[in-house]
Structure 1
Amino acid sequence: MAGSNNQKSKKSSFFRILIVFLTFVFGLSLILSYLASFISPDKIWIVAFFGISYPFLLLINLLFFLYWLLLRKLYFIIPLLIILIGWIHLRSLIGVHKSMKKVDTTQLIKVISYNVRNFDLYNYKKGWELNFEKRNKIFDLIKKESANIICFQEFCYDATGKFSTLDTLIKFQKAIYFQTEYTNDPKSVNKFGVATFSKYPIIHKGKIIFTPKTNNVCIFSDVIINKDTVRIYNVHFESIKLSKEDIDLAEDLSHINKPEGNKVELKEKSVRLLKRLKNAFIKRAPQARLVANSIDKCKYPIILCGDFNDTPTSYVYHLVSSRLIDSFVESGRGFGQTYIGLLPTFRIDYIFYSNEFKSLAFQTIHNNLSDHYPIISDIKKK
């Protein structure tokens, strides 16, 4: 009888030691996720993986906090303090603002940022008819919102006119001022890149080329708003370039436990996915430095839209937004996720602005017209 009690006591002691150990391990992991904002992935890439894991590490630490609190053990202080240290990251994850009251809309600058995935040009599941259907629904959305400034990433233009995008947008949106930059072969019939449409006159256009071989780019348009010059940045940072197999692996991990699952093949696919993430982390760092350098030199008020392909705990986000304000943090609600595909809790699309502005409202439109949700911000000059 005594031996049985001793055995139970040893198991209980081992379990408690294990939980204490895990509390410290995941607490340290959460701290490393905070450091991801300050450490460039092209210097130490491993930290970026902690940064992208922030929402999950936060949840685990919250569970440890509740566990120790229920047991009335002082260990609850460890996860609590670590969570509070990262308060600024928590604010960028969850918006807590109320709905905007009715205001004078005459002075508002309505901004849309939207990665349209080439208007679904390459979705052949139902043939070309589906492509036109998705494209037209995106057009209807843009027309309904009637924004002053629209920034598209993964914008496509068909030079043959069979899959019209540019001309149609100019016509019904009445955004006669626009800037496009295509990153693929200029001789190609289908062109892909970014596009900015404005109801305000564009007096100057510029671009930031990352590298000659990348499909990503940043453009900026100087527009006149109420006699003031405002610079509009539209950026698309390095994509992860996931294949269909990568997405299937990430989104449907349940097949791992199936007897027919090939564990060797699964391991190879997992390693390939991690390599893609690593390479994208590394490539985005110098791209972000180029954009941040341009922002530092800019003498005008700024509005920046973009698909960063990175989260608010990333080096890219921290670097680019150091002089800017995140519209979601200022006026958003909920989790604000903008990506529908791999790990759909991620917010990787943003609208920023400089101190001359304030955001009165932020909205994420949940639809399935792309693998990104469009985001909208109502901005006003202070």
Structure 2
Amino acid sequence: MTFNIHHGRGMDKQLDLFRIAEVIEKSDADIIGLNEVDKYFSKRSDYEDQISWLAKQLNMNQTFGPSLSLTSKNSTNVRQYGNALLSRYPIVNEKRHLFNFIPGLIEGRSLLDSTIEINKKLFQINVIHLSLNPILHRKQTDFIVNQHLKTPHPMIIMGDWNMKPESKGWRKITREFQDAWHLAGKGAGFTYPSLRPRSRLDYLFVSHHFRVIEAEIIMNFPNASDHLPVKATLSFS
């Protein structure tokens, strides 16, 4: 499942990580990519280490990839914001790639690249949040495709892609990957804004090692974030 949690602040402007945890728990997903996760970041999220809190609450493995890191005179903790992964399976390796492609422009986008182990088989799980800027978006999608060509493992890439279906970026990615919603979802797959969704921004792409059985938008708690989560059921053999 992929879920942009908007640092735990819902459409009612309330900060509530318990709601985010409940969405994840009731989805029954085994691997969850999260966007807009705060780690000691600011008052907006009560300086909470959100991914550690969620992992403990849900009894899952976790890793975090900062897109932005700031230091403060008032705190010994580095203030960070970025992508995260929750997994019921062991996370055996992790890398982080900052998308700083244009010198002097720090936009705060990144890719979290993790390897998990299921039944002694390795799978590559990438969590991303791409730019709204078309030039940066193109550079980021190029990087993702190149990363895919370097790994021998079955791969899942998920997150907030900030693009439309059938766009240039979508076509570039779907030359290498399967769009889970495109194959098995029903309807337009809109995820944003959560209360009256009219845009499809959140995607699950999987390598051709997988068969996509089902794809669905999780709509149980639309107030929990400004995005709705997307969940896919996959088969691998």
Task: Determine the structure 1 residue equivalent to 2:116.
Answer: 223
Distance change >3 Å, CA 146–CA 308, structure 1 → 2: same
Q: TM-score, normalised by structure 1?
A: 0.54
Q: Which residue does 1:120 correspond to in 2?
A: 9
Alignment of 1:155 with 2:37, yes or no, is: yes
Structure 1 partner of 2:224: 369
1:142 to 11, 24, 27: 24
Higher helix share: 1
Q: How far apart in 2 are the matches of 1:290 and 1:166? A: 26
CA contact (8 A) 2:214 2:233 kept: yes
How far is the alpha carbon of 1:344 from its aligned partner?
A: 4.0
Amino-acid identity (%): 25
Letter in 1 for 2:148: I
Q: CA RMSD in A?
A: 2.3
Q: 1:308 touches 1:316 (CA, 8 Å); kept in 2?
A: no
Structure 1: unaligned runs, 5 residues or longer: 1-111, 240-279
Aligned-partner Cα distance in 1 for 2:37–2:28:
18
Per-residue deviation, 1:292 = 0.9
Secondary structure of 2:153's aligned partner: coil
TM-aligned CA deviation for residue 162 of structure 1: 5.7
Residues 262-341 of structure 1 mapped to structure 2, 5 A cutoff:
280-340=133-193
Whether contact under 8 Å (1:337, 1:347) holds in the other structure is yes
For 1:159 and 1:329, the matched residues in 2 are separated by: 35
CA deviation map 1:112-168 (0-9, x unaligned): 1001111118x8x86xxx213xx2211111122232111001111237976452232
TM-score (norm 2): 0.85
- Give the superposition deviation at 1:207: 2.2
- For structure 2, the residue ranges without an aligned partner over 5 or more in a row are none
1:179 aligned onto 2:63 = yes
Does the CA-based 8 Å contact 1:360-1:377 persist in structure 2?
yes
CA distance in 1, matches of 2:93, 2:128: 17
Alignment match, 1:69: none
1:139 maps to amino acid = A
AA of the residue aligned to 1:114: F
Is contact 1:201–1:223 with CA below 8 Å preserved after alignment? yes
Q: Which residue of 1 aligns with 2:98?
A: 209
| 1:146–1:229 distance in 2 versus 1, CA, 3 Å | same
Structure with the larger strand share: 2
Counterpart of 1:131 in structure 2 is 15
Contact 2:39/2:47, CA 8 A, preserved across alignment: no
Q: Secondary structure at the match of 2:127?
A: strand
Q: Secondary structure of 1:184's partner? A: strand
Q: What one-letter code is carried by the residue in structure 2 that aligns with 1:149?
A: I
Give the residue type in structure 2 aligned to 1:167: S
1:187: Cα distance to partner? Answer: 2.1
Shift of 1:179: 1.6
Larger deviation: 288-297 or 362-371?
A: 362-371
Aligned AA (1:169): L
Matched residue type, 1:140: E
Query: What amino acid sits opposite 1:378 in the alignment?
Result: T
More moved, 155-164 vs 299-308: 155-164
Larger Rg: 1
